[in-house]
């Protein structure tokens, strides 16, 4: 009994000591939940890269998507108007505030039924297939105006396909190249 | 009665162990001979070269592509660490400069430029890059750690401590190794070792052989600073198991063979091997020290000249300046030594730079000024053994017997780190008090 008590007391002492840096009595192996930190997140390709300024990156990367809209929509709006001062609406009929409100919640929406595509002229954001020309679609929505015909030099990344064919079976990606 | 006989026997064995032990050599070739081959280094280099070739080919097809330039810059910096070929560090830098000129303000590029500048011991330059990255804000955790690195090098312990306090994360490897460095520089070696031990455990949990090796190799250095030479040796061997091409660990073992075992032949065997596969000036300096211990003055001079010749080449920038400064002081080339020390202080206003200035000043003959520099900038501000030794000598020559004794005794406590030549000199100085 005496031994048990002693052990119990020592455990308490150890806990108290472990608040100081690199103490000898600190458990050396950290607990699992403290070992990882979120460093990055991305929903729609390149949106975080383009719309979040360098000074906001760290914050954006650890903000849960449900809170991104409130925190970053107005900054996205400023960025959009800085990139394209003549922006009125885009091919989806969205004005700047509505468009950036959608973009600021950086998630990739997926329709559980129907065709999976980033944009194919008929379906919008029902997912993203590997061969989708996502950057050109985004450029078109940012620079192309209501008809998609504005700023023709800026609405296409001029990369029309992957430089190696995708596979038809898992893992679907092209072999390393 | 029988019990008492056993007890006496036991005590005798313990006593024998205590008295005989120091004579036993620690470094044994059988433990590490299999690492003394170029094969491991070549294997790592070959793998790196194939990756460099891959990206060089891409860059040749798309000159000026900054993605390829950044990839190559990272690979060339790693390759320099492996090969010691300084031109690869310059190639890495020039690629990064090209990217930074065309697309300024990329945090990753600024951090890489800062890291390369630290390797080149261009600390002011490094500070300006990393402050720019820090100001932009992206990846602030890494920028804070690197700025703390530069502050530690520049002797600004307070800012380093504040930076680290802001991002305290004791389950993060990168944080822990900085905390270890901060403790080390604050003369809290035991705490530093505990941080590094935790970092090594974290590294092991990650399973990344490169990181495990790095942390063990550095931990072994720290055990050496503590005077725990056997533990240092075992830890170098453990580090080598994770990376058989760890030349730093082999160099550490050579130092043990020399400084602890006084087995100059074995130390020279390891160093000569290292020198044959890794063309950096460092080994000549150690070989000169071994020759000095053997009282082979011509050999000592030969190695020392070779070191000075190579290390003074402009391609090395500031990398060997502190060694050159001390050598020149001891050789009586005080004007040059003073100039280097002054430059070093500009680059790195650290007590270790001021002790170089004080030593050069002392060798010039101005012992009062030397003491003044020591008292203002060194004594009580660093526990580095070399600074303690030089402070002790300068105090002694100024008639400050008691203070000199304290510094010299503290230095003597690190005789493994300082090596037998300096240890003997300290003993002589103490006798003269």
- A64-82 pLDDT per residue, tens: 999 999 999 999 999 999 9
Compute the distance between CA of residue B144 and CA of residue B162 in angstroms, rounded to an integer: 10
- Residue B120 belongs to a domain: no
Q: Give how far A55 is from chain B: nearest CA, Å.
A: 4
Question: Do B223 and B327 sit in the same domain of this protein?
Answer: no
Tally DSSP H helices, then E strands, for chain B.
25, 0
pLDDT above 80 (res B94):
yes
Query: Could you tell me the CATH number of the domain that includes residue B353?
Result: 1.25.40.10
Who wins on pLDDT, A142 or B11?
A: A142
CB-based burial label for B117 (10 Å; 0-12, 13-18, 19+) = buried
Q: Which chain A residues are Cβ-neighbours of B136 within 8 angstroms?
A: 54-55
B 258-297 → A contacts, CB under 8 A: none
pLDDT band, residue A10 (cuts 50/70/90): very low
The alpha carbon of residue A144 is apart from the nearest alpha carbon of chain B, in Å, by 26
The pLDDT score that the predictor gives to residue B7 is 64
B237-292 pLDDT, tens per residue?
999 999 999 999 999 999 999 999 999 999 999 999 999 999 999 999 999 999 99
Q: How many residues does chain A have?
A: 177
- Give domain status of residue B100, yes or no: no
Choose from B109, B137, B141, B175 for mutation: most chain A CBs within 10 A: B137
Stretch 39-68 of chain A: residues touching chain B, C-beta under 8 Å: 54-58
Residue of B nearest to A25 (CA): B194
- φ and ψ at B89, to 5 degrees? -65, -40
Q: Are B194 and A23 in contact (CB under 8 A)?
A: yes
* B136/A28 Cβ within 8 A: no
Last residue of a domain, one of B225, B245, B265: B245
Per residue in B383-422, pLDDT (tens digit) is 999 999 999 999 999 999 999 999 999 999 999 999 999 9
- Please check whether residue B150 lies inside any domain of the structure: no
User: Residue B186: is its pLDDT beyond 60?
Assistant: yes
Inter-chain residue contact B138 with A26, CB threshold 8 Å: no
Q: Residue A35 and residue B171: Cβ atoms within 8 Å?
A: yes
Query: pLDDT class for B212, splitting at 50, 70, 90?
Result: very high
Closest residue to B137, CB basis, from A30, A34, A58: A58
pLDDT band at A38 (very low <50, low <70, confident <90, very high): confident
Mean pLDDT along residues A80-90: 97
Answer whether residue A45 shows pLDDT above 60. yes
Distance from CA of B198 to the nearest CA of A (A): 6
Tell me, what's the pLDDT at B18?
A: 54
| Rounded Cα gap, residues B31 and A111, in angstroms | 62
CB contact under 8 A, A58 and B141: yes
Q: Is residue B306 part of a domain?
A: no
Q: What is the pLDDT of residue A29?
A: 53
pLDDT tens across B370-382, in order?
A: 999 999 999 999 9
Given a cut of 70, whether residue B210 has pLDDT beyond it is: yes
So what's the pLDDT on residue B3?
Answer: 67
For residue A24, what is the nearest residue in chain B, using CA coordinates?
B194
Provide the CB-side half-sphere exposure for A40 (13 A, CA): 9
Place of tokens 């000549």: B284
**What does the angle CA B270 – CA B275 – CA B277 come to, to the nearest 5 degrees?**
100
- Mean pLDDT of the region B52-80: 97
Mean pLDDT of chain A: 84
Instruction: Report how far residue B364's alpha carbon sits from residue B353's, in angstroms, rounded to the nearest whole number.
Output: 17
Q: Where do the domains of chain A lie? A: 2-34, 47-154
Establish if A33 touches chain B: CB-CB under 8 angstroms. Answer: no
Q: Kindly report the CA angle at B40 between B39 and B43, in degrees rounded to 5? A: 85
Mutation to test the A interface, candidates B54, B165, B171, most A Cβ within 10 Å: B171
Q: What pLDDT does A20 receive?
A: 42
Q: Tell me, yes or no, if B400 comes closer than 8 A to chain A by beta carbon.
A: no
Question: Which residue, of B194, B225, B245, is where some domain finishes?
Answer: B245
Nearest to B137 among A21, A24, A54 (CB): A54
Please identify among residues 29-88 of chain B the ones whose CB lies closer than 8 Å to any CB of chain A.
none
Strand partners, A119: A124
pLDDT confidence of residue A177: 80
pLDDT (tens digit per residue) in B310-364:
999 999 999 999 999 999 999 999 999 999 999 999 999 999 999 999 999 999 9
Chain B contact present for A161, CB below 8 A: no
CB B420 within 8 A of CB B295: no
Residues of B within 8 A of A29 (CB-CB) are 201, 205
Q: Which residue has the tokens 């092991």?
A: B204
How many domains, in total, are found in chain B? Answer: 2
pLDDT the model gives residue A12 = 35
Range of the structural domain that residue B379 is part of: 320-433
Same domain, B324 and B426: yes
Cα separations in angstroms, B287 against B197, B392, B432: 31, 26, 29
pLDDT at A58: 94
Predicted confidence at residue B198, as pLDDT, reads 95
Q: Which residue of A has its CA nearest to B191?
A: A22
Query: Is A37's Cβ below 8 Å from some Cβ in B?
Result: yes
Token pair 């900085």 is found at B178
pLDDT in tens, A94-152: 999 999 999 999 999 999 999 999 998 889 899 999 999 999 999 999 999 999 999 99
Cβ pair B205:A54 closer than 8 A: no
* Residue to test with chain B: of A19, A22, A28, most B Cβ within 10 A: A22
Chosen domain end from B213, B245, B277: B245
The answer, yes or no, to whether residue A2 has pLDDT greater than 50, is no
Range B420-430 average pLDDT: 97
Residue A19: is its pLDDT beyond 60?
Answer: no
Model ipTM value: 0.73
CA distances (Å), origin B427, targets B268, B363, B385: 25, 20, 14
Mean predicted confidence (pLDDT) in B18-47? 88
Average pLDDT over residues B166-172: 90
Are A22 and B171 a contacting pair at CB < 8 A?
A: no
A54–B197 CB contact, under 8 Å: no
Q: Chain A partners of B201 at a C-beta cutoff of 8 Å?
A: 28-29
Query: Among B20-29, B35-44, B92-101, B115-124, which stretch is predicted with the lowest mean pLDDT?
Result: B20-29
């Amino acid at each position: 009994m005496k031994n048990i008590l002693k052990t119990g007391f020592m455990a308490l002492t150890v806990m108290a000591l472990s608040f100081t840096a690199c103490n000898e009595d600190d458990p050396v192996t950290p607990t699992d939940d403290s070992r990882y930190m979120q460093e990055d997140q991305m929903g729609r390709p390149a949106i975080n890269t383009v719309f979040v300024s360098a000074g906001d990156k760290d914050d954006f990367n650890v903000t849960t998507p449900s809170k991104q809209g409130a925190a970053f929509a107005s900054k996205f709006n400023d960025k959009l108007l800085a990139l394209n001062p003549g922006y009125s609406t885009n091919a989806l009929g969205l004005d700047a505030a509505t468009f950036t409100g959608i973009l600021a919640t950086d998630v990739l929406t997926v329709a559980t039924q129907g065709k999976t595509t980033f944009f194919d002229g008929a379906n919008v954001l029902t997912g993203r297939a590997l061969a989708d020309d996502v950057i050109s679609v985004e450029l078109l929505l940012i620079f192309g105006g209501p008809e998609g015909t504005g700023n023709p030099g800026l609405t296409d990344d001029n990369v029309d396909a992957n430089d190696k064919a995708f596979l038809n079976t898992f893992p679907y990606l092209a072999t390393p190249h | 009665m029988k019990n008492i006989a056993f007890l006496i026997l036991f005590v005798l064995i313990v006593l024998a162990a205590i008295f005989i032990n120091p004579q036993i050599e620690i470094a044994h070739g059988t433990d590490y001979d299999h690492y003394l081959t170029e094969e491991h280094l070549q294997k790592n280099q070959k793998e790196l070269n194939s990756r460099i070739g891959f990206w060089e080919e891409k860059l040749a097809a798309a000159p000026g592509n900054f993605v390829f330039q950044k990839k190559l810059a990272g690979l060339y910096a790693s390759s320099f660490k492996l090969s010691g070929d300084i031109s690869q560090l310059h190639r890495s830098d020039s690629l990064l400069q090209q990217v930074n000129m065309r697309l300024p303000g990329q945090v990753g590029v600024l951090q890489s430029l800062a890291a390369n500048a630290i390797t080149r011991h261009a600390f002011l330059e490094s500070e300006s890059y990393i402050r720019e990255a820090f100001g932009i804000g992206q990846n602030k955790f890494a920028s804070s750690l690197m700025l703390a690195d530069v502050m530690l090098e520049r002797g600004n312990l307070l800012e380093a401590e504040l930076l680290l306090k802001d991002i305290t994360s004791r389950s993060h490897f990168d944080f822990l190794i900085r905390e270890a460095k901060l403790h080390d520089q604050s003369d809290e070696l035991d705490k530093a070792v505990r941080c590094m031990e935790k970092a090594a455990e974290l590294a092991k949990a990650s399973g990344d052989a490169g990181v495990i090796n790095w942390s063990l190799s550095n931990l072994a250095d720290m055990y050496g600073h503590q005077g725990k030479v056997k533990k240092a040796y075992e830890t170098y061997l453990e580090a080598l198991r994770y990376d058989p091409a760890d030349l730093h660990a082999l160099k550490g073992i050579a130092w043990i063979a020399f400084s602890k075992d006084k087995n100059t032949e074995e130390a020279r065997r390891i160093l000569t091997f290292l020198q044959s596969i890794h063309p950096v000036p460092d080994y000549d300096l150690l070989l000169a020290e071994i020759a000095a211990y053997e009282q082979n003055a011509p050999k000592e001079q030969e190695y020392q000249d070779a070191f000075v010749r190579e290390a003074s080449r402009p391609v090395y920038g500031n990398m060997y300046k502190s060694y050159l400064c001390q050598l020149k002081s001891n050789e009586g080339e005080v004007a040059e030594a003073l100039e280097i020390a002054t430059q070093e202080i500009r680059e790195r206003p650290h007590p270790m730079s001021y002790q170089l200035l004080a030593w050069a000043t002392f060798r010039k003959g101005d012992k009062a000024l030397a003491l003044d520099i020591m008292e203002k900038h060194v004594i009580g501000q660093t526990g580095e053994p070399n600074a303690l030794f030089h402070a002790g000598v300068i105090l002694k020559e100024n008639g400050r017997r008691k203070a000199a004794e304290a510094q010299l005794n503290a230095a003597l406590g690190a005789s493994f780190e300082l090596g037998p030549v300096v240890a003997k000199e300290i003993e002589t100085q103490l006798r003269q008090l």
